[in-house]
Chains A and B, each alone.
Chain A
Amino acid sequence: MNLFVETLGFGIVSGCVIALGAVGFSVQFGISNVLNVAYGTFLTLAAYLGYLLNVEHFNQWLSVVVVGMAIAVLSVVYNRLLPGRLMRRGAGFVTTLIATVWAGIGMLYVIVVIAGPTARTYQVDNGRTLTFAAFVLTTSQLVVIGAALALMFAYHLLLTQTQLGKAMRATSVNPVVARSCGIPVSRVIDAAWFISGLLCGMSGVVLALTTVTFGSTLGTTFLIYMIAAAVFGGIGQPYGAMVGGLVVGLATQLVGAYSSPAYEDVAAFVILTAMLLVRPRGLFGTAATRSLRLAGG
């Protein structure tokens, strides 16, 4: 029983780490309909930038925010240069996807050329290990959970309570109609990429703080979890992505605790895919999600 409760705790921690990135991914996919594989490279980049600060003994939580902002800006610039531009030209979904794959590869190898292929290790301050009920968590894990929940809540408020949020939702349903309603769509898209970049950057550093060591493969490894979580939740649905992230975290930890750990990642993917087949629009996806012509253009 103790092991079970503990495992739930570990699952929530891993889940929150994945969820941060998954929500970011979901935001950009939901609003501009770009499956941005280069997101993984931004995660890796964030981990390296965070490492540079870590070496200088920068406060680890402050570095999460600083790197988050840096990646946010880069993300906006990147979208304007590549996916956004392609979408405006009417490029299809797969075309844009492949362009982002190559952009991701290109940027990743820039990182590799500069940083080399060997792993880096953060000096992590985990704080005290706290035990309540049967949960065993460190203070830094609590910070991660708290921050993830707070960010989700903030994003929820943004979507529901602000003008920008309404404009974002409108754009995600139908950008053409949104534009004709006087919504400055390109600025809304910038905002979306900024937010997703912010979450991506923060998630990259948090990932590295959690795994302690990382290399150039960090982004691609975790991107696929994030994609799975985001799809499972229903693209563009932050709560869905959050739940998806938790499913990944809990599935991997539970399989690790009770079954053959070698299958823990596979198990997470299988659960998410199976759920998707049961609910083809994703957990929180609505009928209003627009269908698209994938092959067109």
Chain B
Amino acid sequence: MSPVDYYVTILAVYMGTDLIAAWGLNLEFGVTGVPNLAYIVFFACGSYTYAVLTVGPASQFGGSESYIIGARLDPAVAILVAMVASALVGVIIGLTGLRRLRLDYQALAFLIISFIAIGVVGADGAIFNGLPGMSLIPNPLGTGKGAATAWEYVGVVALGCVFAVLLVRQLGRGPLGRALRAIRDDEEAASAVGKNVLWMRLMTQGVGAGLAGLAGALLAGFIGGWSPNAWAYTETMALITVVMIGGRGSIKGVAVGTILVLGGFLQGVQYLPTLPGRPGTTEDLGWILAAAAAIFFIFVRPQGLFPERRPKLALLPARVDAAPVSSTDPTAEVLTQAAGRSAAARTDGPAAGAVGATELAAHHVRLVTRRMPDGVDAVRAPGGPILQVRSLVRSYGGVRAVDEASFSVPYGSIVGLIGPNGAGKSTALGIISGFIKPDAGRVELDGLDVTRLPSYRRARIGLVRTFQLAREFPRLTSLENLLVAPLHQRGEHVTASIVGKAAYGAQEAALVDRARQLIELFGLAHLADAPAGSLSGGQKRLLELMRALMLDPKLLLLDEPMAGLSPAITERLENACLALREAGVSVLLVEHELGSVDRLCDNVIMMAQGRVLAEGAMEDLRRSVDVQDAYFVG
């Protein structure tokens, strides 16, 4: 085996291990949006775990080296354990309070964790032999010295790459990939549509860390040594640069990025002509060039070489028959007709796209009925409360934003929640939907105490909110925004996602159909495949409402949906609300546009300074002196 062979095999092993790690980081950061600036720590975790499991006990060095374990395990076992250990560390870090931080704080906290980890390993010689680090780490393929071994190793790393790429590809596509991207685009909105953000984040952090661990074990086994000098935070920065230059969320992009940034640069620099003077000047200049190149890339291709592409689902042929609704369901026919009609109406004139109340009602009767297969009538008689709020209290630094507020929303009604700015309406809504913890009080949905349920679980039992500023998932298409929401998606399970379409394809097709019908009902079919971020403010509002509807809500909490909308879209939204009421969906509407409140609400609750000030029909409230004072004076 010639030196050139060695060089080529080494490059291949480095590229391969970097690629495994970069794909793992891509799943974690590019797809799910976890700003893991400590990623190299998990790589190191794999290296160290592999090292201490495969080397002999430290006592063989007569006290001059010290590290834990030293078990002389079989390398194959050690690689697996290294992967699992890294994954576990990833999950544990994911479980800390870190996830509750603002995203930029998270990034910084990760960065600091990177320093803590390297500091501890460097200062505590007893764990991994401190700064000198681990040496004499056995090669997994034995100590053979022929060409075959080095090339075989490339084969092993290639297998690792195949494993990594299959894993990240399967996890990053289909409904699971969609949900992960939803979390990346807006974590709160994702939990508002019932996604278990914590579990999904932990899953990707575990998988990401596990892949880093695999890469670390493979590299350490190959080079035979590992020390704190090999995993400075800059290595994470290099990997993040790879993901950014390649294209966040793009598997192909990351591959190209790895070759370009890590391979091209690190090796390319060494081919620059050697400059006179101090050795290293060439490399120093190389760093300057690399920096210039990276910044140049970020400027001209901020989305990376291969921007993430989202599937164009609107173009797929319709598959109504695939819907898990019995073909004799009479509403199915109505729906198709309605879809046709509203599509036709769109071209006619200013009323274009207005939601037909009957169509939407029919749609929801079907949806709600489907949820109750035993024939229980979902549309109960209005009167009993679907939502009961008792004595809610929430203070911010001594100010009681919500102060002993109690009210209820009867079944099948639209209840308005009004009040001046700072009255506590949005806070109350946040508490009801589970985004804000109350200091005291109780929230009951349909008689069930949900005060302690996390927001995503509330969404799953039909308590669904929208946000004051529409929070779409900007980099998903409009249609995908709707598809994120439905409950019980088989494709969101890790195993199903890995198996692929065979496990979830039929259900997915039915959901796509349903989403397309809905988007057509709301007159946004022409934007179905557009990135949601490109929609207008009003369109985003509609999208958010549709997304909420995909969850088959019992109670919708709408946070100032009419604010700043054009009259045409306001009308659409109002019609939708009325249609929903007809379908038996209750609505709690926080709103400043009193005209809309007038037109829609059966009952209105007036809040001021955190308390419920008055309750009744809008016209009565208008006459109340208290209300006028609160609104216009206080």
Residues of A within 8 A of B (CB): 33, 35, 82, 85-86, 89, 91, 93-95, 97-99, 101-103, 105-107, 109-110, 112-113, 116-117, 224, 227-228, 231, 235, 260, 262-263, 265-266, 269-270, 272-273, 276-278, 280-282, 287, 289, 291-297
Contact = CB atoms under 8 A, between A and B. Distances in A.
B336 interface: no
A35 to B, nearest CB: 7
B123 A262 contact: yes
Interface in B110-138: 111-113, 115-116, 119-120, 123-124
For the residues of B in contact with A, the DSSP-based class is helix
Interface stretch (B82-90, B158-166, B289-297, B352-360): B289-297
Nearest to A231: B108
A91 B496 CA distance: 35
A227 B104 contact: no
A273 B474 CA distance: 32
Contacts of A269: 112, 115-116, 119
Contacts of B35: 93-94, 294
Contacts of B474: 293, 296
B298 A98 contact: yes
Contacts of B113: 273
A277 B96 contact: yes
B285 A109 contact: yes
A228 B233 CA distance: 15
Interface stretch (B42-50, B237-245, B381-389, B479-487): B237-245
Nearest to B298: A99
Interface string B242-266: 0010001000000000000000000
Given A89-B302, A106-B287, A273 B116 contact: yes
Contacts, number: 153
Contact of B108 (A33, A35, A106, A293): A35
A93 B288 contact: no
Given A113-B288, A263-B119, A295-B184, A94 B96 contact: no
A106 B107 contact: no
Contact of A86 (B102, B284, B299): B299
Nearest to A266: B119
Contacts of B295: 82, 99, 102-103, 106
B287 A109 contact: yes
Interface in B465-492: 474-475
Contact of A98 (B109, B124, B237): B237
Nearest to A34: B104
Interface string B271-315: 000000010110011011011101100110010000000000000
A93 B298 contact: no
A28 B123 CA distance: 33
B185 interface: yes
A95 B109 CA distance: 17
Contacts of A276: 101, 105, 109
B107 A94 contact: yes
B330 interface: no
A270 B186 CA distance: 29
Given A263-B119, A276-B105, A277-B98, A91 B291 contact: no
Contacts of A105: 234, 287, 290-291
B33 interface: yes
Given A276-B105, A294-B33, A98 B241 contact: yes
B147 interface: no
Given A105-B290, A294-B106, 8 more contacts: A35-B108, A102-B291, A224-B111, A273-B112, A277-B97, A277-B100, A280-B102, A296-B185
B7 interface: no
A291 B101 CA distance: 10
Contacts of B278: 116-117
B288 A287 contact: no
A244 B280 CA distance: 38
A260 B97 CA distance: 27
